[in-house]
Amino acid sequence: MRVVVEKLPEWIKKLLRKFRNIVRVLLYRGKGRLCPVCGESSRRFCHFGVVPREDAQCAHCGSLERHRLLWVFLQNKTDLFDGKAKKMLHVAPEHCFKQKLEEQLGGGYLTADLLNPCATVKMDVTDIQYVDQTFDVVYCSHVLEHVLDDKKAIREFFRVLKNDGWAILLVPIISEQTFEDSSIIEPQERLEAFGHHDHVRRYGLDYIDRLQEAGFVVNCYKAGDIVDDKEAVEMGLTAASGEIYYCTK
């Protein structure tokens, strides 16, 4: 069924997504959960994932656990919304964030992607075509696991970040130790080795070492560092939310 849908014209796919979203909102309407990204309430969050996670995705804006944790962090622990002009690089922009960040940052907000034509610029994160210290903020989430030379990409993020700026570089942590093997190239083999058909490594808790090797000073935050237990339940902030890796120079 999914293969058939992917072959449909884009305008039909947009209509189907709109219809799906309307149905979701109706099915999950009520109180009990509050999405900090869009501010909408629902009875609970929708299930989501290849192996479905219950109570995971906002029926209104599509945010997942990691998106909601990040948004609360941005509001409570950073200067992103202090009203001062900033230049922000947002790699692989998530739909639930894009419009809100555009409204907040105006012309200082730059979206980038290698394949997505909706991004402002086409960008290879291992070869960023901007001069040193261009950006006040760099945000890249769940991209590096797709990049063959992730260490080079991290060095590029460090290079284009201003000395007094900050970056948030997130990846899925699913192991104790990072595992990668460049000889694994077939989609099915990658699925078995890395958990997804287009991932090129499985990150472990030593991911922080890669950030530090590039020169970053890294502070890690979990949901419990930002909200209390009641708020975590209401916002659907679970173990699937992961950690925030807040990087400075």
Letter for the amino acid at 238?
T
User: Are both 46 and 70 inside the same structural domain?
Assistant: no
**How far is 151 from 165, CA to CA, in rounded Å?**
20
User: Are both 44 and 71 inside the same structural domain?
Assistant: no
User: Are both 7 and 69 inside the same structural domain?
Assistant: no
**How far is 18 from 215, CA to CA, in rounded Å?**
44
User: Are both 91 and 44 inside the same structural domain?
Assistant: no
Q: CA torsion angle for 80, 83, 87, 92 (degrees, to 10)? A: 50
- DSSP reduced 3-state for 107: helix
Q: Tell me: the pLDDT tens digits for 107-147? A: 999 999 999 888 999 999 999 999 999 999 999 999 999 99
Pick from 63, 79, 114: which residue ends a domain?
A: 63
User: Are both 52 and 122 inside the same structural domain?
Assistant: no
Determine the average pLDDT of the residues in 94-109.
95
User: Are both 70 and 47 inside the same structural domain?
Assistant: no
User: Are both 11 and 74 inside the same structural domain?
Assistant: no
* Residue 124 contacts residue 114 (beta carbons within 8 Å): yes
The residues that bridge with 111 in the sheet, in sequence order, are: 90
Q: Give the HSE-up count for residue 16: Cα atoms under 13 Å, Cβ half-sphere.
A: 11
pLDDT band at 28; cut points 50, 70, 90: confident
Q: Tell me: the pLDDT tens digits for 37-84? A: 999 999 999 988 878 899 999 999 999 999 999 999 999 999 999 999
**Which residue range(s) make up the domain with 208?**
64-248
Model pTM greater than 0.75? Answer: yes
Give me the count of residues in the chain: 249
Residue 2 pLDDT exceeds 50: no
Pick from 63, 91, 117: which residue ends a domain?
A: 63
User: Are both 59 and 126 inside the same structural domain?
Assistant: no
* Residue 87 contacts residue 80 (beta carbons within 8 Å): no
Give the closest residue to 236 by CA, choosing from 40, 97, 99. 40
Domain containing 122 — which CATH number? 3.40.50.150
User: Are both 90 and 180 inside the same structural domain?
Assistant: yes
Letter for the amino acid at 98?
K
The pLDDT value recorded for residue 27 is: 79
Q: According to DSSP H, which parts of the chain are helical? A: 2-6, 10-27, 65-77, 95-105, 150-160, 187-194, 207-213, 229-235
User: Are both 151 and 202 inside the same structural domain?
Assistant: yes
User: Are both 75 and 59 inside the same structural domain?
Assistant: no
Domains: count for the chain: 2
**How far is 41 from 60, CA to CA, in rounded Å?**
9
Pick from 63, 82, 97: which residue ends a domain?
A: 63
User: Are both 57 and 68 inside the same structural domain?
Assistant: no
